[in-house]
């Protein structure tokens, strides 16, 4: 990775993704987490402040060494035990059926093969496990989707591989997860190609 991708971009994301709006969403998505939890794309640890006391351990998966360093102060002050679950969501180190809950907040847009990562989520979840997620992706509005398709190549180069146009709900169900709750909306105050949001809960099918 270059200096921009490895050192500068994680610091920008750390700031950009810590807003009043994003904190409100994180609080909703983290509600109900319990037991052994695996977090895909844990970044610089912004979700730690929202993880409830019912979590016995949080396993974090994060490819960026800079983001992991930025997370260290938050990990040190967390009341929840935190351990590394690896650096690549496509190759989770956890055993089959060993995780009660998986958490993903604005992560599936950047994983090179999200379907493989979601199949790994399905593999490590217990039979009664849950997948809590909030992601941005392809809008059902054809005009917005056309712009997303046009802008995604530039977005990927500037934002660490982030795609604007992934069909989040279809990816989740294609991986063998059943969506039980789903809210979709454009995030307030953000341009539509960047802000169509999928927020919900899924379980192994």
Q: What is the pLDDT of residue 57?
A: 97
Calpha distance 154→156 (Å, rounded) = 5
Domain boundaries, the chain: 3-204
Q: What is the mean pLDDT of residues 57-79?
A: 96
Whole-structure pTM value: 0.95
Digit-coded pLDDT (tens) for 81-91: 999 999 999 99
Q: Where are the beta strands (DSSP E) in 31-98?
A: 35-40, 55-61, 82-84
Mean model confidence pLDDT for the chain = 96
Q: Read off the pLDDT band of 1 (50, 70, 90).
A: low
CATH assignment, 3-204: 3.40.50.150
Digit-coded pLDDT (tens) for 100-115: 999 999 999 999 999 9
Q: What is the mean pLDDT of residues 1-16?
A: 90
Measured CA to CA in angstroms, residue 194 lies from 118, 137, 186 at distances of: 22, 8, 9
Phi/psi at 172 (5° precision): -65, -45
Residue 2 confidence (pLDDT) above 90? no
Q: What is the pLDDT of residue 141?
A: 98
Return the bridge partners of 186, or none.
196
């Amino acid at each position: 990775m270059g200096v921009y991708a490895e050192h500068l971009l994680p610091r920008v994301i750390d700031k950009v993704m810590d807003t009043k709006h994003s904190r409100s969403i994180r609080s909703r998505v983290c509600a109900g987490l319990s037991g052994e939890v695996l977090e895909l794309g844990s970044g610089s640890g912004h979700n730690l402040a929202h993880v409830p006391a019912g979590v016995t351990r949080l396993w974090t998966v994060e490819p960026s060494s800079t983001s992991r360093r930025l997370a260290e102060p938050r990990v040190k002050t967390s009341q929840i035990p935190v351990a590394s679950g690896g650096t690549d969501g496509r190759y989770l180190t956890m055993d089959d059926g060993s995780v009660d809950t998986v958490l993903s907040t604005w992560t599936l847009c950047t994983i090179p093969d999200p379907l493989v990562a979601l199949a790994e989520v399905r593999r490590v979840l217990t039979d009664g496990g849950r997948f809590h997620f909030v992601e941005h992706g392809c809008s059902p509005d054809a005009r917005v989707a056309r712009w997303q398709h046009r802008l995604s190549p530039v977005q990927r180069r500037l934002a660490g591989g982030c795609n604007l146009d992934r069909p989040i709900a279809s990816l989740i169900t294609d991986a063998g997860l059943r969506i039980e709750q789903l809210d979709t909306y454009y995030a307030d105050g953000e341009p539509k190609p960047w802000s169509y949001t999928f927020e919900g809960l899924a379980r192994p099918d």
